[in-house]
Structure 1
Amino acid sequence: MSEWKGLTVESQTRWDEIAEYWDDYMGEKSNRFHREIIKPQTERLLAVTEGKTILDIACGNGNFSRRLAELGANVVAFDYSPKMIERAKLRSTDYLNCIDYHVIDATHYESLINLGKEKYDSAVSNMALMDIADITILAKALNELLKEKGTFVFSIPHPCFQTPSMRKIHETEDINGEIVARNSIQIAKYLTPEPTEVIGIKGQPVPHLIFHRPLSYYINIFLTSNFVLDGLEEPCFTLDGAENDKFDWYEIPPAIIMRFKKL
């Protein structure tokens, strides 16, 4: 939302404070959430082929940028945290011939356009748009950065199920002598956009900001920016024989991944 523009600097400052903690935690392989929920379906929707040029938006420590390079893509990646980009470069010494890192704020239109008009076959943003105070500028810029019929794939926490003040509930019930476990969530509000402080990784030095928006907001902002929605996934974990004895995201998708194509 445009009224949140003033929070961009605060958000950037906090990410710089937690950048090294997040990088140490995520490492080279990232966490289970990214490995099982985000990465497989994002790769499928991107359909990367060798020689394609891809823009990685809010790339963090460059984990997915390096994966794109392994798949044969030429990557331009940016983040607004200088410390994140510093860590990304340190982890990417074997990929510097095919990954070009920048420190750029995704709410600064001119900086985005300077990355090259109609240069990119695709763009991607993994679990980051909810960290950006104003995504209207990015949507506008992407229409100019992508080639004809270029695609933008992004993942975010599922806004229908991961709302501010959402509660995870784990219940057990004795049914005819059998203890049955049931997981659910409790949601009190959804439609009202709002910024909130969160702890993404236990122990991080300070909370960071996320900006909740309903699903319709994300869809409409790209539809009105000359894109069409042509791919959508709602992945969740699979039990695979594990005991369902605590809350986890099995039947309720924790994230949504969408692909928009430039018209």
Structure 2
Amino acid sequence: MPAEDDDQPISRSTYDELAPGYEDITDAAIREYYEWPTVERLLPPLDGKRVLDAACGDGFYTERLAEAGADPVGVDASPAMVRRTRERFGDGRFAGEIPVHEADLTDGLPFLDDEAVDLVLCQLALEHVRDWEAVFAAFARVLRPGGRVVVSTSHPVRDYVDAEFFVRDHVLAESATYGDTERVDRDWGDDGDPFVVPFYRRPLQAAFEPATEAGLLVERVLEPEITDVFADIAPDHAAEFRDGPPNFLCLRFLKPADSATITTG
């Protein structure tokens, strides 16, 4: 996952702690049958494409990209997650073929040259980062003209509704100011054993501006739908999401073939 800024001191250590059992998160119904099908709809053809899996976690989706014919490179700020990913590719079909770097997304991706990748995929990671401007500037730099960035993140409307109108047990906030980017932690613990994970909520506009200011164009916007499989496997989540705003926002940005013609303002 991406590392923390100065007022988010526990993000990296939080994901180091999550690393040993992270497959329970990537295999969860909300990821596999709700978020991932929507992200998959946004992906261009992958065969032969160089893909940056940004905040790759334990490499679950990095491996999925490789299985689809892509040439992936992983990056994560958590040393424990990087170790897990390298172990995943230590032997077997993709042994020695997939580089995995330890780096913070806000540090500019120095291990990649300009225009080095065809696609950047960043799933459910940016909600832990305040500074999206630095992240999207790096994504735009390493992306080839005509390439795309696919992002999934917490839905700004859901984040606001959770805090302002009904505080769920896991949302550690009592109110929200919609126009601000605010830190709001969530408790992922079980049975009275707290496990606090730092999040940031931001208005909808702030989910787009860092990308457009970096010269990217908004190409598609999708909100996950309740699939029959998801409703069968996770009926409580499905009912909650059906009655309220979606849990996630999924976006695809395009780097124009002639990015010099794009201006913002």
Alignment correspondent of 1:236: 225
Q: Give, in angstroms, the shift of residue 41 of structure 1.
A: 1.9
Alignment correspondent of 1:131: 128
In structure 2, what is the Cα distance between the partners aligned to 1:123 and 1:218?
16
Percent identity of paired positions between Structure 1 and Structure 2: 26
Is the CA contact (8 Å cut-off) linking 2:33 and 2:227 kept in structure 1?
no
In structure 1, what is the Cα distance between the partners aligned to 2:235 and 2:41?
28
Alignment correspondent of 2:240: 248
Q: Give, in angstroms, the shift of residue 223 of structure 1.
A: 0.8
Gaps of 5+ in 2: 169-173, 257-265
Q: Is 1:195 aligned to 2:195, yes or no? A: no
Gaps of 5+ in 1: 170-185
- Count of matched residue positions in the alignment of Structure 1 and Structure 2: 239
Is the CA contact (8 Å cut-off) linking 1:152 and 1:260 kept in structure 2?
yes
CA gap 1:116/1:202 in 2 versus in 1, 3 angstroms = farther
Stretch moving more, 126-135 or 236-245: 236-245
Q: Give, in angstroms, the shift of residue 99 of structure 1.
A: 2.1
AA partner of residue 226 (structure 1)? G
Q: Give, in angstroms, the shift of residue 88 of structure 1.
A: 1.8
Alignment correspondent of 1:165: 163
In structure 2, what is the Cα distance between the partners aligned to 1:41 and 1:133?
24
In structure 2, what is the Cα distance between the partners aligned to 1:97 and 1:226?
34
Q: Give, in angstroms, the shift of residue 8 of structure 1.
A: 4.9
In structure 2, what is the Cα distance between the partners aligned to 1:24 and 1:244?
21
Alignment correspondent of 2:260: none
SS at match of 2:210: helix
The two structures, once aligned, show a CA RMSD in angstroms of: 2.7
Q: Give, in angstroms, the shift of residue 87 of structure 1.
A: 1.4
Q: Give, in angstroms, the shift of residue 133 of structure 1.
A: 3.0
Alignment correspondent of 2:153: 156
Describe how 1:16-31 pairs up with structure 2 within 5 A: 16-21=16-21, 23-26=22-25, 30-31=27-28
Larger radius of gyration, structure 1 or 2? 1
In structure 1, what is the Cα distance between the partners aligned to 2:118 and 2:142?
9
Q: Give, in angstroms, the shift of residue 168 of structure 1.
A: 7.1
TM-score, normalised via structure 2 length: 0.80
AA partner of residue 182 (structure 2)? E
CA gap 1:202/1:249 in 2 versus in 1, 3 angstroms = farther
CA gap 1:238/1:250 in 2 versus in 1, 3 angstroms = farther
Is the CA contact (8 Å cut-off) linking 1:48 and 1:68 kept in structure 2?
no
Higher helix proportion: 2
AA partner of residue 198 (structure 1)? R
In structure 2, what is the Cα distance between the partners aligned to 1:122 and 1:49?
9
Q: Give, in angstroms, the shift of residue 200 of structure 1.
A: 3.9
In structure 2, what is the Cα distance between the partners aligned to 1:98 and 1:41?
28
In structure 1, what is the Cα distance between the partners aligned to 2:188 and 2:114?
34
Q: Give, in angstroms, the shift of residue 42 of structure 1.
A: 1.4
Higher strand proportion: 1
